[in-house]
Structure 1
Amino acid sequence: MAAIGVHFGYTCACVAIFKDGRAEVVANDAGDRVTPAVVAYRDTEQIVGIAAKHGRVRNAANTVVKVKQVLGRSFKDPEVQKHKAESKCPLINKGEQPFYEMTGETSRHVAPQDIARLILHKMKETAQSALGAVVTEAVITVPFEFAHAQKVALREAAEAAGFRVLRLIHEPAAALLAYGIGQDCPSGKSHVLVYKLGGTSLSVTVLQVNGGMFRVLNTHTDHSIGGESFTAALAQHLAAEFKRSFKQDVSGNARAMLKLMNGADMAKHSLSTLGSANCFVDSLHDGMDFDCNVSRARFELLCSSLFNKSVQPIKILLEMTGLTTSDINQVVLCGGSARIPRLQQMIKDLFADSVTVEACASDILLREVDESGAVVFSVLLPSGTPLPARRHHILSGPGHLPSLCLELYHKSTQQPERLAKVQLLHLITHYKES
């Protein structure tokens, strides 16, 4: 059985298989291609995914979200302290390591690696259900800025989930591999920008692709903005609408706002494909139900400042790298929030001045004569090679040649057609006497 690819994000996880020459993200048991990276603990069971996310309203103290933020970090790490302040599930210090404290009939302490193991095991089950066979080997993506300790912790969690980890690869490189970028052209340099807007962070990376090899030129990550920022803006709008309709302010009610966040999140997803979305919350406050319709135009207006903040890192990174938008050959969008139409349009407008890169429409051939006198054609520039291009080709022949004539052809449907004839005079030849 071939290996699978696993993406373990801050808010969601997904698994992909290679099918019919392309990477295909498979659906889970709920029919969704992404699974919330949420784990809820109850007295006798652990719940992973969408059910855990929806049950967070009633079981917030025993529900873990964004475990990737603390995975492989010490308790004193600033990111862990930030997570501790935001988490509804208590985080404690145990041997200078962060542990979640679960309450119930019996209290217990759970390590972040155990939370990650449950999520990764869910991914393993999803892949096995899709393939109808046991899956053990996996390639797992990691952020470019992941430290060694974080990579070790993720690998250990995956192994505990039953995977044999073949490799950890950086997320930008995984995005290029998923779309086959750089794999079909063996020569010629190009630049690709990978834009990833996930649930809690935005990362922009510029890579140079050359002969199937990827080189990261520069990367920028902003943890102050993510998909949840757009959800929160919409939830605040819904709270204001509820106050206007019912004269009740729920902005300070944690449970009510969590309900609105869930409703806003579903509405946000719908607005990526529809012009309007209905948000209904059952018993939002004092038994009152809330029903509100939000148009895509209203959503875009509410989040206008967030959209501007989301595209600004592209300009900053290109300036840091010494490139312009016209130097970027392709842009790859990743992350659930990159599906927002307004954001996609702003990125398109940013690269509107990008020129089409000149490339060989067909193979460029050099006509030669072999030792037997037969005509042969050597490929100098394969089809698709970005131009201008430089190639080295060794010619052989008898010594003391006063001149040389080179004929360049291109491959057509019938037979090679001549493009140019180059006459080289006053050659300096090098030869060995036998």
Structure 2
Amino acid sequence: QSPADNGDNGDGAPANWSHALIVDWGASSLTLSALSNPGGTGTLQLVRTTRDSSCSGRALSSLLVNHCASQFERRNRLPSGEVLASKRAKGRLERACEDALRTLGAAQGGSRAGCSVVVDGLYEGLDLNVPVSRPRFDALCGPFYRKAKAMIQAEAARLAEKEGEGGGGAAAFDAVLAAGNVSLMPGAAAVVDGLFPPKGDDKKCWRGRSDVPADEAVALGCAM
């Protein structure tokens, strides 16, 4: 039954849903929690939880840090690894890359969107200025996104097998809810959208309320 059948505005959860997957993709880890709603009673049961810190926001930030450090060393003819060996330079570069990630996550404009990682006097008085386009960033994060996709696919397949569902795993979930700041990144969102097309596509799957930002979902839930 669709939300519209319930007489709401189409943004509410489907009635009589049986399984939901929570994709909590934050700074510390990618956590997948499968919930069940036996008999559609509204009594939630936690089926299983899977966590992987190698797919975390910190891991994503490290990819950009290593890329920028490599570019800086190459342009200034410095030995490989020298910049990150300096705690002060590494800390400043990490903060700049975190800001760049927030910009990339919030930017609009498709493939033209991008930003620059800028740090004045990063190391030995030398300035860092590394442009990062959306295509370049997505290429850097390719292995990261592929690993996360495989993890989500495996979790969906395990639940589908346990419940005797067909459809390659994705059909086992009536709702997939994203939380965490990493889920706002276009590449991360594309992974989830590709596996679980939003309601209205061939494989209908409720994707949560549009008025609840993914990076605020956990905090709002705790406040409630």
TM-score over 0.5 (shorter chain)? yes
1:265 to 98, 113, 117: 98
Which residue in 2 is equivalent to 1:300?
138
User: Superposed, which structure 2 residues align to 1:180-195 within 5 Å?
Assistant: 181=13, 185=15, 188-195=16-23
Distance 1:283 1:234 in 2: 19
- For 1:348, which of 193, 211, 216 is the aligned residue? 193
After superposition, give the CA deviation of every residue in 1:194-248 in whole Å (9 maximum; x if it has no partner).
1011112111111123232211222211123300111000011100111122122
CA distance in 1, matches of 2:129, 2:153: 40
Give 1 or 2 for the bigger CA radius of gyration: 1
> Is 1:217 paired with 2:55?
no
Map 1:130-209 onto structure 2 (within 5 A). 181=13, 185=15, 188-209=16-37
Contact 1:277 1:294 in 2 (8 A): yes
Q: Which of 48, 59, 63 is the matching residue for 1:229?
A: 59
User: Cα RMSD over matched residues?
Assistant: 2.1
Q: Distance in 1 between matches of 2:30 and 2:69?
A: 26
Per-residue CA deviations over 1:156-185 (Å, capped at 9, x if unaligned) read xxxxxxxxxxxxxxxxxxxxxxx9747xx4
Q: Is the 8 A contact 2:116 2:130 kept in 1?
A: yes
Provide structure 1 residue ranges, at least 5 long, that are not aligned to the other structure. Answer: 1-178, 358-434
> Distance between the aligned counterparts of 1:181 and 1:218, measured in 2?
21
For 1:302, the aligned partner's letter is: L
Q: Give the corresponding residue for 2:148.
A: 310
> Paired residue for 2:69?
239
Give the paired residue count. 175
Q: State, as a whole percentage, how many aligned pairs show the same letter.
A: 25
- Structure holding more strand per residue: 1
* 1:305–1:287 distance in 2 versus 1, CA, 3 Å: same
Q: Secondary structure at the match of 1:250?
A: helix
CA contact (8 A) 2:104 2:114 kept: yes
Match of 2:118 among 270, 280, 305: 280
Distance 1:227 1:279 in 2: 17
CA distance in 2, matches of 1:199, 1:334: 11
Q: Pick from 64, 67, 88 the counterpart of residue 255 of structure 1.
A: 88
Segments of 4+ moved more than 6 angstroms: none
Q: Please, which of 326, 345, 366 is the counterpart of residue 171 of structure 2?
A: 326
Cα separation, 2, equivalents of 1:200 and 1:316 = 21
One-letter amino acid matched to 2:63: A
TM-score normalised to the size of structure 2?
Answer: 0.71
Cα deviation, residue 344, structure 1: 0.9
Larger RCO, structure (CA 8 Å, separation 6 or more): 2
User: The residue matched to 2:18 in structure 1 has which SS?
Assistant: strand
In structure 2, relative to structure 1, the CA distance for the partners of 1:328 and 1:288 (3 Å cut) is: same
- What is the SS of the residue equivalent to 1:279? strand
Which one has the bigger helix percentage? 2
Counterpart mapping for 1:356-395 below 5 A? 356=204
1:355 maps to a residue whose letter is K
Gaps spanning 5+ residues in structure 2: where?
A: 1-10, 108-112, 206-224
CA distance in structure 2 between the partners assigned to 1:256 and 1:289 by the alignment: 11
Q: Which amino acid aligns with 2:48?
A: N
AA paired with 2:95? Answer: N
User: Could you tell me whether the CA contact under 8 Å between 1:206 and 1:216 is conserved in 2?
Assistant: yes
Alignment of 1:27-38 (within 5 A): none
TM-score, normalising length: structure 1: 0.38
